[in-house]
Amino acid sequence: MDQKPVKVIVSNPPKLTASEGAKRAAKLRTQSNDMGAERPPAIVEEPLKKEWSPVTWQDRPIVQDVVYDDYNKVETALEKLESLPPLVHPREIEILKKKLKSAAEGKTFLLQGGDCAELFDYCTQDNIENKLKVLLQMSLVLIWGLKLPVVRIGRMAGQYAKPRSKLTETVDGKEINSFRGDNINGFDVKDRLPDPNRLVSSYFHSAATLNFIRSSLQNGLADLRHPGDWDLSHVQNDNVRQRYEEIVTRIIEGLEFMKTVGADDSADITSIDFYTSHEALLLEYEQSLTRLLRNPTTGEKSYYNTSAHFIWIGDRTRQLDHAHVEFFRGVANPIGIKVGPTMDANELVRLLDIVDPNFETGRVTLISRYGADKVEKLLPPHIAAVQKSKHKVVWVSDPCHGNTKTSPVTKVKTRYFDDIVTEVKLALQIHKDNGSTLNGVHLELTGDAVTECIGGSQALEDEDLVIRYDTVCDPRLSVSQSLDVAFVVADWYKKNIGEDAVNASN
């Protein structure tokens, strides 16, 4: 008997559908936004009472707003982002939370660093490897000097947006949009119109960066038995070079000793934990990657922002009743808050009460960025206010952002290395004098030999800035200047906290 032919029905793939939250975000971000400046102001106390969700930020006033010209394109971009898998896993986030709790208790030191603003073009093997290598070398120096574990967080795999003091600039007599980061618009003056398709590109460049970071760390890049190139030829001062060489020699000898006694095969020696972070500026992007997921330890579900392990609020977007604070208060990730010269001590405590209502040790990292000439006046009252509040935070110094100046010779933005190390050392001492501890540093750096900041052991001068000034935003520490900072911090600890301080007192 002849069998009847089987009819195969091929169905179309399911069509993506944007959530109502995505649709409303798209509306808020386009010129069809009928709320605009009329978005109702919020009451400061309300965040503690109202139920939170990843979309409640949409009812708040917002600064550093982005306006797109096509609602449908924004909706399509957010629809796609909602369908994509998380970039990071809740287990990784929970491990980082434990490490930051340890940092808040003074048992671990936080090293956070990377580009001012990542470009999509930075997503290359050499660029990623160079940043990983310099952060690894810096962490080894810090471990040696501080006698503490170091948790490493990169300003990587998502740091594509930057807040700007001015949303427009004048070029050739014409006012155009400022460059606000690759996930908003392009650096080329012809590409300054905000494009929602860049949100999706941001995801895939973040994913590619993360994938290469993970594969590199699993395959020997962070093997402490081979800590990279310890070339110190950049150091111009003979006494400084000799000091650095002594430290490097001790580190290498310690690693060789571990190899000799057979203690160099553990996972702690052959690899490291590395975490990603960025300023969560574009809330429609962050909303799309915030998922209700199970805590791998407790089994309870929480909202994790899976765009990165750690996100922070910038100094320009930390208004108590605004959208960014509303979004941050509900995510399960550890979060950072930039604390600048305009932050009042009472305002700081009120902000902590909103985002850390349960007084969770290490949930909040306070990243101070005052400037070398202001830190002595502004940091002590902030320390006192937080101590009185009972919030257990991670205190971190960002000595870069408050020390940006215009070069008198080349007329470009730069930073003086002496200002940077002055702020770091003052922060270390001020915390010690006030019964507190500086738990980390947050640096804008690159793994390349750029010439964007003046000074350091390489003795760069103003005229040298033109040699390799690559930044499209703020000036970054070069690979040698980054190592200089690590040596300075390690040296301060040994003289003021460690064995050298004990010996000096005897």
Q: How much is the pLDDT for 1?
A: 54
- DSSP string over 12-56: PPPPP---HHHHHHHHHTBTT-SSGGGSPPPPTTGGGTSPP-TTG
pLDDT tens across 216-257, in order?
Answer: 988 877 666 665 555 666 666 677 677 777 777 787 787 777
Q: How much is the pLDDT for 2?
A: 62
Nearest to 163 by CA among 369, 356, 463: 369
pLDDT tens across 62-102, in order?
Answer: 999 899 999 999 999 999 999 999 999 999 999 999 999 99
Q: How much is the pLDDT for 244?
A: 73
Q: How much is the pLDDT for 304?
A: 98
Burial 389-417 (b: 16+ CB within 10 A, else e): bebbbbbbbbbbbbbbeebeeeeebbbbb
Q: Is residue 29 part of a domain?
A: no
Q: How much is the pLDDT for 229?
A: 54
| 413-416/404-406 β-pairing | antiparallel
What is the token pair recorded at 347? 């305002």
Q: How much is the pLDDT for 119?
A: 96
- What average pLDDT does range 296-310 have in this prediction? 96
Nearest to 316 by CA among 64, 29, 39, 40: 64
Q: Is residue 66 part of a domain?
A: no
Q: Is residue 482 part of a domain?
A: yes
Q: Are 263 and 208 in contact (CB under 8 A)?
A: no
Q: Are 22 and 78 in contact (CB under 8 A)?
A: yes
- What average pLDDT does range 30-47 have in this prediction? 47
Handedness of CA 147, 382, 331, 358 (dihedral sign): positive
Using the predicted structure, report yes or no on whether residue 47 has a pLDDT greater than 80.
no
- Structural domain including 183 reads 87-504
Q: How much is the pLDDT for 133?
A: 87
Query: How many other C-beta atoms lie within 10 A of the C-beta of residue 332?
Result: 20
Q: How much is the pLDDT for 245?
A: 78
Q: Is residue 190 part of a domain?
A: yes
Strand partners, 455: 460
Lowest model confidence (mean pLDDT) among 21-35, 199-213, 266-280 = 21-35
Identify the CATH number of the domain in which residue 286 sits: 3.20.20.70
Q: Is residue 5 part of a domain?
A: no
Using the predicted structure, report yes or no on whether residue 38 has a pLDDT greater than 50.
no
Q: Which amino acid is at 213?
A: I
Q: How much is the pLDDT for 39?
A: 46
Using the predicted structure, report yes or no on whether residue 440 has a pLDDT greater than 90.
yes
Q: Which helix (H) or strand (E) holds 416?
A: strand 413-416
What does the alpha-carbon distance between residue 398 and residue 444 come to, in Å, rounded to a whole number? 8
Lowest model confidence (mean pLDDT) among 29-43, 61-75, 312-326 = 29-43
The percentage of the chain sitting over the pLDDT mark of 90, rounded to a whole number, equals 71
Domain count of the chain?
Answer: 1
**367 contacts: CB under 8 Å, gap ≥ 6:** 312, 336, 337, 338, 339, 396, 397, 398, 442
Angle CA(457)–CA(144)–CA(362) in degrees, nearest 5?
A: 105
**Binding residue numbers for phosphoenolpyruvate:** 155, 338
What does the alpha-carbon distance between residue 131 and residue 248 come to, in Å, rounded to a whole number? 19
Helical residues (DSSP H) of 50-176, grouped into ranges: 71-83, 90-104, 125-146
Q: Is residue 244 part of a domain?
A: yes
Q: How much is the pLDDT for 219?
A: 84
Lowest model confidence (mean pLDDT) among 76-80, 384-388, 457-461 = 457-461
The pLDDT confidence band at residue 34, using thresholds 50, 70 and 90, is very low
Handedness of CA 238, 239, 243, 244 (dihedral sign): negative
Q: Is residue 456 part of a domain?
A: yes
pLDDT tens across 258-283, in order?
Answer: 778 776 665 555 568 999 999 999 99
**149 contacts: CB under 8 Å, gap ≥ 6:** 99, 102, 107, 108, 109, 143
Using the predicted structure, report yes or no on whether residue 468 has a pLDDT greater than 70.
yes
**Binding residue numbers for Mn(2+):** 116, 369, 401, 444, 474
Q: Which amino acid is at 428?
A: L
Q: How much is the pLDDT for 31?
A: 60
Query: How many other C-beta atoms lie within 10 A of the C-beta of residue 335?
Result: 22
Q: How much is the pLDDT for 243?
A: 74
**244 contacts: CB under 8 Å, gap ≥ 6:** 232, 235, 457, 483, 487
The pLDDT confidence band at residue 342, using thresholds 50, 70 and 90, is very high
Q: Is residue 31 part of a domain?
A: no
Strand partners, 435: none
- What average pLDDT does range 170-194 have in this prediction? 93
The pLDDT confidence band at residue 49, using thresholds 50, 70 and 90, is low
pTM of the model as a whole: 0.91
- What average pLDDT does range 435-457 have in this prediction? 96
Q: How much is the pLDDT for 45?
A: 44
Q: Are 111 and 440 in contact (CB under 8 A)?
A: yes
**Binding residue numbers:** 116, 155, 338, 369, 401, 444, 474
Lowest model confidence (mean pLDDT) among 36-45, 309-318, 337-346 = 36-45
C-alpha 92: how far from chain center? 16
Q: Are 444 and 126 in contact (CB under 8 A)?
A: no
- What average pLDDT does range 134-152 have in this prediction? 92
